[in-house]
Chains A and B, each alone.
Chain A
Amino acid sequence: MGALNQLVIGASIGAVLLLAALGLTFTFGQMGVINMAHGEFIMAGAYTAYVLQPLAGGQAVLAALPVAFVVAGLLGLVLERVLIRRFYGRPLDTLLLTFGVSLILQQLARDIFGAPNVQVRAPGWLTGGVDLGGLRIPYNRIFILVLAVGCVVGISWYLARLKQGRRMRAVMQNRQLAAVSGVATERVDQLTFFVGSGLAGLAGVALTLIGPVGPTLGSAYIVDAFLVVVAGGLGQLRGAVIAAFTLGVLNSFVEFWTANGASFAKVVVFAVVIGFLQVRPQGMFVLRSRALS
């Protein structure tokens, strides 16, 4: 029974990881930009729900989803236009730069909203849960799972079916060839960054259901998010999905079967990822293309 419970819990941890990491599959995975401020876009999404609360009341979380996507997306777009595009091809500089930006954004949030955590009330229909033979699966976890799956489906559709998505893949796979074929690569970069950052905003809204809403919210998730993307393979959506759920389930089982497991589970997860990357430095899935070799 315990094992089944933990499987369900692992899946819900995986959904949280996936949601936090989805945006990174775009900005880091597709464009190779190490954006340490990604966590702060998640935070921006969470605060969007908080700001909308007086207007939307109990349904703030739902109302905030599209708004947070745009807010975080625009933040990302501004960051890309103003700073990151000047640093393409210089990953280490970008890392330091965006780390600085993340600190600035955290302090900005602290100045605007105050240092203590704020409260975002969950909608009535998200409190409670389904009883499943001794285990209660909260509705908010199901909501996060559905949202994550919805995002994955949406992204797959976007990448495979939409003109913009195909251009994005083209630029990623071979920038020069895409450019000579008439794709405006700069515009594609902007759009990629907008969508990737917007997804972080969505994650932020969902995370208000289960965690704290404060200035350092994003830093709690950023490392795990990068872990998922790296383990899954850069730019590989299915890799990120599998990595997120594998790490989630692994985490929940280790934590459950060991006494004082939370710290130990983190150690095991990191060790497994490091070990895995020794064997497969490119992650679970690898994109085969001439441009990358």
Chain B
Amino acid sequence: MSLHQRARILLSLLMVSSVVVSMSACVDDPDSGRADGDTIKVGVLHSLSGTMAISEVTVRDSELLAIEQVNAAGGVLGKKLEPVVEDGASDWPTFAEKAQKLISEDRVATTFGGWTSASRKAMLPVFERNKQLLWYPVQYEGLESSPYIFYTGATTNQQIVPALDYLKEKGKKTIFLVGSDYVFPRTANKIIKAYAGANGMRVIGEEYTPLGNTEYSTIVNKLGQAKPDIVFNTLNGDSNVAFFKQLRSAGFTADTMPTVSVSVAEEEVAGIGPANVAGHLVAWNYYQTTPGATNDAFVTAYRAKYGADKVTSDPMEAGYNAVKLWAAAANKAGSVEVDAVKKAAAGISLDLPEGKVTIDGENQHVYKTARIGVIQPDGQIKEVWNSGQPIKPDPYLKSYPWAAGLA
């Protein structure tokens, strides 16, 4: 086959696929019929391959567990839920494409999915255009409130701001920011700088590395020279393993170079090696060790289904919560129709593994308790501080004077 022929075949393939995509995009999409069968289909859309699979596969697992439990408890509107699992493949356009597929081909009643902000931003217009619901289970940078997304992870005032309050209380004056180079760390660091400026703290360094970066000796050297009171770590994914291994082997411990991380949970600790990261701080809303019968039951059920050596983490719990919250809202509404669910969801309050979780009807985020933890040598995280009560979500930080101008 000549190069010319090959190019023509490639071109026609591309044309066919773009026609298919645009056809599926113009399917008129009424709500009717989404619960007509014997079962109600729900979409589960996470990266099961590619670089993000490392984080998202277990969120899918916990969502499937929640679906199983909802079914065991009688289902939604008396019908069983039938999960339709799709792979976003760590590729943002694929997330948009699969979301459209779930909505128009599988006719799912709702979708649980996404991890990176990039994937959420890619799916957002799809769900808004089709007037369908997405439940997004990961802490994120805030400054968003789509009427067609429910956010069950923390927004900044439920994770980053309480972490800063904690550091201030501990007398930390100088902060060094280390993060991956994309929207979440950059937005988070903007917030941190505004907070520091208003609270007598000083940001003495700010470093970003490409996603997936594995070489941190230079940054560790910079940290050693800057000697900050605390390193605020917003690295994501694999990079955390490299960063903490190299920080440790350069001779720094949690005592000599303390860090606080917002994307390192139990699973990441296992990958880093607890010995390399013990003593460092993390900020989340849930730990496997969070006390309470609901969490005990969640951990037991998860391990029974997926293996006794498995750990549970904050994003997994938020995904689990999303399923439970949607099921409760649909049952309360007596319908899976989007507007009815949205209306019923406002104010719904459930006892979930992290404690009491209430949906804020206004911005469709949830009230969450902020928790600061210390990583233990056995890989678990011990809570050392919490906010006492669930914090009202404030994605645009409107209630914080120092944050004026950030949004």
Contact = CB atoms under 8 A, between A and B. Distances in A.
Contacts of B210: 262-263, 266
B91 interface: no
Nearest to A255: B218
A163 to B, nearest CB: 38
Contacts of B268: 116-117
Contacts of A169: none
A212 B249 contact: no
Interface in A78-119: 103, 106-107, 110, 114-119
A117 B273 CA distance: 10
A211 B249 contact: no
Nearest to B248: A127
Given A116-B58, A262-B218, A209 B245 contact: yes
B31 interface: no
B293 interface: no
Contact of A6 (B56, B218, B251): B218
B275 interface: yes
A210 B212 contact: no
Nearest to B213: A262
Task: Give the interface centre of A6, A119, A256, A265 by most chain B CB atoms within 10 Å.
Answer: A119
Interface residues of A, number: 54
Interface residues of B, number: 44
Contacts of A129: 249-251
Given A210-B246, A211-B241, A211-B245, A117 B271 contact: yes
A214 B225 CA distance: 31
Interface stretch (A69-77, A134-142, A185-193, A194-202): A134-142
Given A117-B241, A216-B238, A261 B250 contact: no
A121 B273 contact: yes
A117 B270 contact: yes
Given A119-B271, A135-B221, A252-B217, A220 B53 contact: no
Interface stretch (B71-79, B201-209, B330-338, B351-359): B201-209
Contact of A16 (B215, B225, B238, B239): B215
Contacts of A117: 54, 238, 241, 268, 270-272
B51 A216 contact: yes
Contacts of B53: 110, 115, 215
Interface in A261-287: 261-263, 265-266
A173 interface: no
A228 B213 CA distance: 17
B222 interface: yes
B57 to A, nearest CB: 4
Interface in B48-100: 48-51, 53-58
Interface in B193-234: 206-210, 212-215, 217-219, 221-222, 225
Contacts of A136: 250-251
B206 A259 contact: yes
A25 interface: no
Nearest to A106: B49
B217 A220 contact: no
B181 interface: yes
A24 interface: no
Nearest to B212: A220
A106 B47 CA distance: 14
A120 B208 CA distance: 26
A260 interface: yes
Contacts of A106: 49
B84 to A, nearest CB: 20
B221 A262 contact: no
Given A220-B212, A262-B213, A212 B238 contact: yes
A262 B250 contact: no
A2 interface: yes
A13 B215 contact: yes
A103 B248 CA distance: 32
A59 interface: no
Interface in A118-152: 118-122, 127-129, 131, 135-136, 138-141
B49 A110 contact: yes
A215 B54 contact: yes
A101 to B, nearest CB: 15
B67 to A, nearest CB: 19
Nearest to B307: A114
B25 interface: no
Contacts of B249: 122, 127-129, 138-141, 209-210
A252 B218 contact: yes
Nearest to A103: B49
A34 interface: no
B238 A214 contact: yes
Contacts of A212: 214, 238-242, 271
Contact of A12 (B213, B217, B272): B217
B192 to A, nearest CB: 15
B339 interface: no
A260 B271 contact: no
B144 interface: no
A115 B54 contact: yes
Contacts of B246: 138, 210
B250 to A, nearest CB: 5
Given A107-B49, A214-B54, 8 more contacts: A6-B218, A115-B56, A116-B54, A118-B270, A120-B273, A214-B271, A255-B218, A262-B213
23 contacts: A6-B221, A103-B49, A106-B49, A110-B57, A115-B57, A116-B55, A116-B57, A119-B270, A119-B272, A127-B249, A128-B251, A210-B249, A211-B238, A211-B241, A213-B241, A215-B53, A217-B238, A219-B51, A252-B217, A260-B208, A262-B208, A262-B218, A265-B218
Interface of B: 48-51, 53-58, 181, 206-210, 212-215, 217-219, 221-222, 225, 238-242, 245-246, 248-251, 267-268, 270-273, 275
